[in-house]
Amino acid sequence: MTRPLALVTGSYRRLGGRIAVRLAQAGYDVALHASRAGEPDRLIIEGLEDARHATFAADLADPAAVVALIPAVADRFGRRVDLLVNNASCFRADDDSYPAPESLNAHFAVNAAAPFALATALAGQGGSAVVNILDQRIAHPHRDQLAYTLSKQALAEATRTLALALAPSVRVNGVAPGLTIATDDYDPDQLQRLAAMMPLERLPTADQVADAVIFLAGATASTGQVLFVDGGAGLVRFERDFVHLGR
């Protein structure tokens, strides 16, 4: 029996890598993607175990590279892409002033336009499901990283719109994580204080986010839905980005 094929953008490391590993464990073959050529993290490759997998490089800010990605994956594996996980993100911290047009364009190209183009390409070659990785801040946006926030809000609306436009052949859903894999900007004590600020007094794990992706990938009666995996953060209005809180 042929395993279904998933393409996970931005999956050489961090959250995208864990999503790819969990999909492989759930029975998918996996196409790993990064914006430029390189090697995925060793633990991700080891986690793919017996799943067939291959790596692809495509700059999602380049429309030509975006158009070519789905056909390249289908050609390498010799079959259609069944599931697309739009995980790759552009995240740049803006200055204290409003973001420049160049920053807006860069964020919208990767975080909204590319996922839209990839989703329609998946539909065109017979795929069945798209899961967009969003951000809990779409529920209560704050004033930090405005270009990033606006682009994720656009992707959230595209999730609902594409769900209708691509039905009944393709289901389009979203997962909105909270703070999941902290960068070096956070210290352990700060993370404990941030966890205590959440309604559930915990932060999500990467595997919990990945399991939400797997659920939506198989939820054949659900489309246009966004599942928050955030410890309840989306229920609370935070005045700043998490990196500025709990210090």
Q: Which domains does the chain have, with CATH numbers?
A: 5-183+203-236 (3.40.50.720)
Model confidence over 104-128: pLDDT tens digits? 999 999 999 999 999 999 999 999 9
Report the alpha-carbon distance of residue 32 to residue 55 in Å, rounded: 5
Q: Model confidence over 36-73: pLDDT tens digits?
A: 999 999 999 999 988 999 999 999 999 999 999 999 99
**Per-residue pLDDT tens digits of the chain, which is 247 residues long:** 789 999 999 999 999 999 999 999 999 999 999 999 999 999 999 999 889 999 999 999 999 999 999 999 999 999 999 999 999 999 987 666 788 889 999 999 999 999 999 999 999 999 999 999 999 999 999 989 999 999 999 999 999 999 999 999 999 999 999 999 999 999 999 999 999 999 999 999 999 999 999 999 999 999 999 999 999 999 999 999 999 999 8
Please report, in angstroms and rounded to a whole number, the separation of the first and last CA atoms in the chain. 52
β partners of residue 85: 8, 131
Q: What is the pTM of this model?
A: 0.96
